[in-house]
Each structure stands twice: as C-alpha cells, then as structure tokens.
Amino acid sequence: MVHVAIAPPNPPSAGLLKRVAALLGKEIVDTRLLLAGEIPRIIASYPDADTANSIAQRLREAGLVAFLCGDSELRHRPARFKARTAGSRGREVIFRDRLGEEVRVEASDVFLIIRGRIQTTTRERASTTKMKLNLPATVLTGGIPIMRRVTQKTAKDSFQAEDFVKLYDWRSSDPRVEMFQNHIDYSSLGLELTPSAPANFNVVVTKLREWFPLATFDERLTAHFKMDMPVAGAEEAIDIQAKLIYLFHLAIKRRE
C-alpha cells in the first residue's frame, strides 16, 4: 500500500477544494475535512506506486505539497538510540545512552529536529472491601443484623505526558537520536540546572538547536493530533506523525 500525503493548506480556497475533490472522487465536504489540520496527513492510499505518484503529481500541480510514503516505511520500528546525555566537542555532538554506548553526530549532519509530546494512558485497578448487610442471613436470625464482606473492583485512567526531541539526518525517516524529558541526566547542565525537569529539558533543546544550526526545527507535535490510520498505541502514532513531518520537510527541500 502506498499513501499520498499532503501539507494541509490554511485555509484551502474554494477552487482548490473543487479541484482536489474531483481528483480524489470525493464530495466537497469530505475533501474539506481531508485538507484541514496543522500537520502533514494522508489523504489517499493506493495499491501501487504508479497510481499514487500520478495523483501526487496532480496535487502538486494544484499547488499542494504532496509526497508519497509506503505503509511499510511508516510502520517500520527501528532500534532506538535513546540518549541520556549530550555534549558538544568541536564539530560533533556526542550522545550517550544508559549503557554508555555513544553516537557521534557531525554538526552539519542533522537535517531536522522534531520536538513533541507523547501522551499515554495507564489503567489503574484497585480493590476496596466494605461491610454490607446480608439480608437473607439477617431474616433467618429474626432480625439480628448479619454483615458480610464485599469486595468492589474499580478502574480509572491515569494520563501521563512526556516531551521528547528527535534528530534526523538526510538518509532516513527514522530518527538518528531521541531524547526523552524523564530519561535525561541533567547534571551536565551545571549552573543552568534547575529543580524543574521541563525547564531543564528546554535548556537541552536550546543547546541542540545551537549545536545543529543548519537543522530545521519543528515543534508541531507538542499538540495532540488525530491519526488518519489505525495504530497500536500512542508511541506508534507519534512515530508515524513524525515520519510524515520528516517526509514533508524533505519534499520542501527538494522543491527548492
């Protein structure tokens, strides 16, 4: 399956809506929904690349930023390098994970920095025991209250949010390095260290932008967006959205 994705225009003109609707064989009202949003999104899927490429080209001719993405690429889950520390040394930045493994990235190698927020839901289950009147037993005793233990099970959802940053080079839509707010060792910040993890994470992101001055910075994923395709969970949804943003910026660069 090959997907056709676009960067939604804001707002789409009446002429563009009509043209795209005719191209996709959809009603105007449905097309308006397809062209709405803040991040790149999939608007059509085809079983072969030739058909998808033909549609994408006609969308480009209509003035949209359109690009192709294979379903296998979007759903590919690479081995992740989650950095715990980062430091600049000359023309390269050295990242290390919890095990001490390191990745060295040249300052000119990073093409895109994506900052976002992942929101996860955890269902918490609890049991409470209460004493309740045992009516049948009470009747049998002539009215003497007989109590019994009743266990009630309850469940509630707990929501957590964590900021992250992903670094990409030109070679792959998979991130070269990832950093997560709650998994970073901030001790290297020295005098810039604060008691607040979000504030410390902001300092790290600022440093990354300074160390990779040629990289495009995109922070649209700090907001929550609805997915256009089925996903296994929040992590896969973020991965797919980040890949669409990467492919969008790549398409922009190729147009320049």
Residue with tokens 């495009």: 216
What average pLDDT does the chain have?
A: 90
pTM: 0.83
Q: What is the pLDDT of residues 19-48, one digit of tens each?
A: 999 999 999 999 999 999 899 999 999 999
The whole-number pLDDT of residue 225 equals 75
What's the average model confidence in pLDDT over 79-97?
A: 94
What's the average model confidence in pLDDT over 182-207?
A: 94
Nearest to 120 by CA among 11, 219, 231, 256: 231
Tokens of residue 15, six digits: 């002429």
Q: What is the pLDDT of residues 40-77, one digit of tens each?
A: 999 999 999 999 999 999 999 999 999 999 999 988 88
**What dihedral do alpha carbons 241, 230, 251, 112 form, nearest 10°?**
20
| Backbone φ and ψ of 147, nearest 5° | -100, 155
Instruction: Measure the CA–CA gap between 135 and 77, rounded to whole angstroms.
Output: 58
The whole-number pLDDT of residue 152 equals 79
Nearest to 134 by CA among 157, 150, 117, 118: 150
The domain spans of the chain are 1-75+225-256, 79-121+158-224, 123-157
Q: Is the pLDDT of residue 148 over 90?
A: no
Listed ranges 5-14, 189-198, 202-211, 229-238; the one with the highest mean pLDDT = 202-211
Beta carbons within 10 angstroms of residue 77's beta carbon: 10
Residue with tokens 């050295």: 94
pLDDT band at 232 (very low <50, low <70, confident <90, very high): confident
Nearest to 101 by CA among 169, 175, 177, 188: 177
Q: What is the pLDDT of residues 155-169, one digit of tens each?
A: 776 678 899 999 999
Q: Which CATH number is associated with domain 79-121+158-224? A: 3.40.1570
Residues 235-245, buried b or exposed e (16+ Cβ, 10 A)?
ebbbbbbbbbb
Q: Which residue has the higher pLDDT, 151 or 175?
A: 175
Q: Is the pLDDT of residue 122 over 80?
A: no
